[in-house]
Amino acid sequence: MENKILYLYRMFRWLTFILLLFWLLVYWQGGLKLCADFRSALKSRVSRLDVFLLVFLAILGLGMTLTAAWTVFTWTKPAADSLLEGWGFILTLTGVIGTFFSRAVLGKFWAAQTATQSDHVVVVAGPYSVVRHPIYSFAILLYSGAGMVFPVWWNLLAAAGIVLGYALKAWEEERFLVRHLEGYAEYRRRVRWRLFPGLW
């Protein structure tokens, strides 16, 4: 029985680590996309808060991925139970799938930094008909799940920082979009929730 439990720990940790690595390498193109968007944000000088949040979220996310790597490769005795880690893996998987799907729905208008394009329109399809910032919602699920699978204190602190960071980014982005994107104020009235239905 004990061997089966240890196997579950190992399996959930490896799968979660693979998901985090996949998200970093594919979604963010190994950090190249994030670096390009960061340089673009610095040049545009749209918002110092937005630039700070890009760096803040990138550092915390990378830190959580490195913690996951350290945990799976050094294999210490689990600090949580397999049920908690199982739920954490499900949240991480949901977050990875959700961010890719939301980004696909957003299409060419997606960028890490707060900006608009000359032909920019408000996207109201798919998850954008439920919440206004679904990529941030799913990223919060992703990192909250990783915090459950790798529950060391600094990882839990990083997960809390990521929740705060994405909430601030959603708030700052909306201030910008209401001023610079036609139809966004109406969209905000129609879709009530920023990140999670019934919460905020």
Instruction: Tell me what pLDDT residue 81 has.
Output: 63
Place of tokens 């966004």: 184
Higher pLDDT, 125 or 117: 125
Check whether 24 has a pLDDT greater than 80: yes
Give 101-118 pLDDT, tens digit per residue: 999 998 888 877 777 778
Q: Please give the torsion angle defined by the CA atoms of residues 95, 105, 175 and 114, in that order, rounded to the nearest 10 degrees.
A: 80
Domain ranges of the chain: 2-190
Q: Helix, strand or coil for residue 199?
A: coil
In the DSSP assignment, the letter for residue 182 is T
Q: What per-residue confidence (pLDDT) applies to 44?
A: 58
The pTM of the full predicted model, rounded to 2 decimals, is 0.87
pLDDT at 151: 86
What pLDDT is stored for residue 53 in this prediction? Answer: 87
Tens of pLDDT along 30-89? 555 556 655 665 565 567 788 888 889 988 999 999 999 998 888 655 555 667 888 999
The rounded distance, in Å, linking the Cα atoms of 88 and 17 is 11
Q: Which bin fits 89, alpha (ψ -120 to 50), beta or left (φ > 0)? A: alpha
Q: Which two tokens stand for residue 153?
A: 């204190």
Cβ(24)–Cβ(30) below 8 Å: yes
CB of 93 closer than 8 Å to CB of 141: no
Dist. CA 15–CA 180, nearest whole Å? 41
* Domain 2-190 fold: Four Helix Bundle (Hemerythrin (Met), subunit A) (1.20.120)
For the segment 162-181, the average pLDDT, to the nearest whole number, is 91
Lowest mean pLDDT among 6-10, 47-51, 89-93: 6-10
> Percent of the chain having pLDDT more than 90?
42
